[in-house]
Amino acid sequence: MKIIVTGAAGFIGSAFTRLAVQGGLAPVCIDALSYAGDMERLEAVKGKFFFHQADISDRARLTEIFSAEKPQAIVHFAAETHVDRSILEPASFIKANVIGTENLLELALQHGIEKFIHISTDEVYGELSAGEEKFREANCLLPNSPYSASKASADMFVRAFMKTYGLPVTTIRPSNNYGPWQYPEKLIPLVIAKAIRGENIPMYGKGENIRTWLFVEDCAEAVMRVLETGRQGETYNIGSNEEKMNRDVIAAILRLLGKGEELITFVPDRPGHDFRYAVDTSKIEKETGWRPRVRFDEGIERTVEWYRMKSDWLFKKEAEARAFTGQLRKRFEEMKSGKGFNFSA
């Protein structure tokens, strides 16, 4: 099967692309190569895939690619994903996550795509309290950030194209991914970078927010399993069933690096910070046999060691992100003090 992988040079998309190549496929990869895309992630499988640099919001460019490649399936990872960035730049998330997804859906319909795998997020469900049951696929969507709202909108377009046009779609909602090659805007690589250098580590609020942490290779395997055996029209949650407070994740990283928790600096919480995400994975386990293989203790140790070995890459990317994260904290502090919010600032 000839497949298009969007966002193939991104964190999760590259893990899937490497897995696909190892399985004998030669995917057609599309990526805009924005700040979060990096072809170095695909160096291990260089020459074994086809690549087009393209923004999925560019309909004309996508039309050229589809006409030339004539794909049979699409695995759609491409998205703006950073929640903090979405608070400053919500319009860019609409462009990438909503308009880009709708472009792909129309082209998939025109070209008779046999399978359309849409990668969503558990954040579309909203948040849970400490004692609430985990999200199931039938839960209502109650997104709280511009990022999750854009992904929920994309989910609804995917559903609409299935119901209206009969497009063979399947949606996957992963929990928080971590592992090698993640861009250091995200919690785990950012903490590793700062801890290695002995810098203060910002922690939102009291660090009590809870996430389910899924090793990226497990996520890629789940997506592949759904591509192979998932049912058309269905939605599948994927996660590790290991819930961790942010402060415990940071503490684990500091222990592995031989650093003390005195590096932690508490900063004002971000607006609309969801308290807890947790997904029920019984559906994908029952229907496809997939289960996560990497426990958090093993995964975080492998991740920390990888970044230690790739510190040049880590520090380069963290330096790129630093100006933005500094601006972000300043703006959050202004909001906290009642100064309002100016998107053009």
Catalytically active residues, by annotation: 122-123, 147
Task: State the sign of the Cα–Cα–Cα–Cα dihedral 314, 320, 323, 326.
Answer: negative
Assess contact for 198 and 259: CB atoms under 8 A: yes
Assess contact for 28 and 50: CB atoms under 8 A: yes
Greatest pairwise CA separation for the chain in angstroms? 57
With b meaning 16 or more CB within 10 Å and e meaning fewer, what string describes 41-65? bbeebeebbebbebbbbebebbeeb
DSSP E strands in 36-182: the ranges are: 50-53, 73-76, 115-119, 169-174, 176-178
Closest CA to 65 of 158, 2, 153: 2
Residues with Cβ within 8 Å of 194's Cβ and at least 6 positions away in sequence, in order, are: 200, 201, 263, 318
Burial class (CB in 10 A: 0-12, 13-18, 19+), 298: exposed
Helix, strand, coil content of the chain in percent (nearest 5): 50, 15, 35
Closest CA to 56 of 143, 169, 154: 154
Assess contact for 229 and 167: CB atoms under 8 A: no
Burial class (CB in 10 A: 0-12, 13-18, 19+), 257: middle
- In angstroms, the CA 222 to CA 228 distance is 10
- In angstroms, the CA 184 to CA 179 distance is 11
